[in-house]
Structure 1
C-alpha cells in the first residue's frame, strides 16, 4: 500500500516497512505500530526546513512509503518420514495468508506488495493437493477414544500453542481446558492432566486448536465454522472432519487469489531465495 505525505527535500524518500504476516494476533499489531513509528521518526529526524504551513507542504514532492508483507515459513517436511514436523504453514494459511489478499478485493484503490518465499509456496501446494500431513494434524484426526498416553501428552503440551490472553482466553471452553491442564506445563502437571481429562475434553481440545486458528472472518461468515464456534463444546468426530475439510479448501485457494490479484494489478509479487530468508529484504 502506498501513502503520500509531503517532505522538504528534492528527492523522494523511500521506506520499506517489512511486516511479517506470521505474527500472532495482537502481538503483530503492536510490532507493526512500533516499526512504523520508529521509521517515521527516523524520517522526520533527517528532515530540514520542515514545511510550516499547508501552502509550503503543497510545494514539496511526496514521501513514498511502501508496505511489503513478507510471508515466509521454513521447510518443515522431514525428508525421512515425509511428515511435516510443525503445522504453521497450515495454521497461518487459514488465519493470515488467504484473508490478507482477499480483503484487498474490497479496496480496489489500494496497492500492496507481497514477498512469497518459495519454500512456503511448495508447502501450500502440497497441503492443497492432500500430500502434506503434519504431526499436529495426525493427532488431531485420531479418534479421541483411541488416544494413547503419548498422544494425550502431545495434545496437552502442544495444542495450547497460541497466545493465551489474545486468543485462547477469547473462547470459554478453550480457556477452561487450559485452566484444567494448568499453566506451568511441567511434567507433573501434564501427567496429572492425562488422568483427569475425559475423552470429551481431549476431543474438544483437538477441535479448539484448529478452530481458534481460523481467521476471524471465517469464524464469523462461514456457516459451518460459525456453527461449531457457537456450539463451543461437546464436539463429535464428524465435527473434526468438517474443520479439516474447511482448512484444505482455504489452503487450496491461497495461491490462486494472489495470482488473480497480481494479474489485475492490485498487488505485486516479489520473492527471495528458496529457504526462509529475511536478510535479503532488509
Structure 2
C-alpha cells in the first residue's frame, strides 16, 4: 500500500510542476509557430521592369549623342520586352520608362543620332584613321559570347582585331580591309537588334548574307532602327490602354 501512496504523490507533484512552468522572460525568443502547409500559401509575384538610361552628352553643335545605348537598347530590348506581352494577355507587369529615357527616345525618333550611328553610316572608303580606331575599339561593345560569337562574320572580325591595347589597334588598322570595316559597321548594329526583327525581312536577308555588305545595306539597318525607336513609346501606351 505504501508503494501506491508514493506513486500517487509523484503523479500529483508532476502535475503541479507542469502547471507552474516559468513564464519566458521579456525579450526571449518564442518557439517557432506551426508552419502552414505549402499548398495553402499563395505566392504573389510582381514583375517590375525598370527601363532607364542616363542623360548622355549631346554635342550642342552637331546634335550627336556621345553614346548609343538608348538607341541600341530600344532596338534590342525596350520594344520587344513590351511586345512579347501581347502573347501573354493574362500576365500583368509594371514597366517603368524614366523621363530621361523618354526624352532621348523622342529625340532619336525625331532624327537625332549618336556617334556610333554617324561613324557606321560613313562610307568605309571615306573613314579617317581616327574614325577607324574608334570603330576598332568600340564596335565590339557587346557581350562577346552571347552576342558577337552568335554570328560567324562578327566573331571573325573580333578575332582579327585581337586586343584593345594601342599596339593591337594599330596592327588591326593595317590589316583590316575596306570591306572588313564596312562589315563591322553593319554587324555592330545588326547584333544590337532583337532576334525577332532579325528573323524577318528586310534584316533577315542581311543576316543570311553575313558578309560583303554594301553601303546601301547600311540604310536598310538604320531605317529599321528608326522605325523600332518610333514604336517604343506607342507600344507601351497601347498595352497600357
TM-score exceeds 0.5: yes
User: Aligned residue for 1:17?
Assistant: none
User: Aligned residue for 2:4?
Assistant: none
> Distance between the aligned counterparts of 1:163 and 1:49, measured in 2?
48
Measured after TM superposition, the shift of residue 219 of structure 1 is 1.1
2:71/2:108 contact within 8 Å kept? yes
| Residues 216-236 of structure 1 deviation map (CA, whole Å, 9 limit, x = unaligned) | 11111x211011000000000
Matches within 5 A, 1:93-132: 93-130=74-111, 132=112
User: Aligned residue for 1:69?
Assistant: 49
User: Aligned residue for 1:243?
Assistant: 221
User: Aligned residue for 1:187?
Assistant: 166
Aligned pairs, number: 209
Structure that is richer in helix per residue: 2
| Residues 194-237 of structure 1 deviation map (CA, whole Å, 9 limit, x = unaligned) | 111000000000000000011011111x2110110000000000
Alignment partner of 1:213 is 2:198: no
Helix, strand or coil for the counterpart of 2:211? Answer: coil
RMSD value, Cα = 1.4
> Distance between the aligned counterparts of 2:38 and 2:211, measured in 1?
60
Alignment partner of 1:226 is 2:179: no
Change (3 A) 1:201 1:53: closer
1:141 to 121, 127, 130: 121
Helix, strand or coil for the counterpart of 1:70? Answer: strand
> Distance between the aligned counterparts of 1:69 and 1:180, measured in 2?
37
Measured after TM superposition, the shift of residue 112 of structure 1 is 0.7
The alignment's TM-score, normalised by the length of structure 2, stands at 0.84
Alignment partner of 1:50 is 2:28: no
Matches within 5 A, 1:148-163: 148-163=128-143
Measured after TM superposition, the shift of residue 52 of structure 1 is 3.5
For structure 1, the 5+ residue unaligned runs are: 1-46, 264-282
Measured after TM superposition, the shift of residue 76 of structure 1 is 1.1
User: Aligned residue for 2:181?
Assistant: 202
> Distance between the aligned counterparts of 1:53 and 1:137, measured in 2?
53
Helix, strand or coil for the counterpart of 1:246? Answer: helix
Measured after TM superposition, the shift of residue 139 of structure 1 is 0.4
The structure with the largest alpha-carbon Rg is 2
Helix, strand or coil for the counterpart of 2:216? Answer: helix
2:59/2:65 contact within 8 Å kept? no
2:58/2:66 contact within 8 Å kept? yes
Structure that is richer in strand per residue: 1
> Distance between the aligned counterparts of 2:208 and 2:37, measured in 1?
55
> Distance between the aligned counterparts of 2:33 and 2:64, measured in 1?
57
Alignment partner of 1:259 is 2:240: no
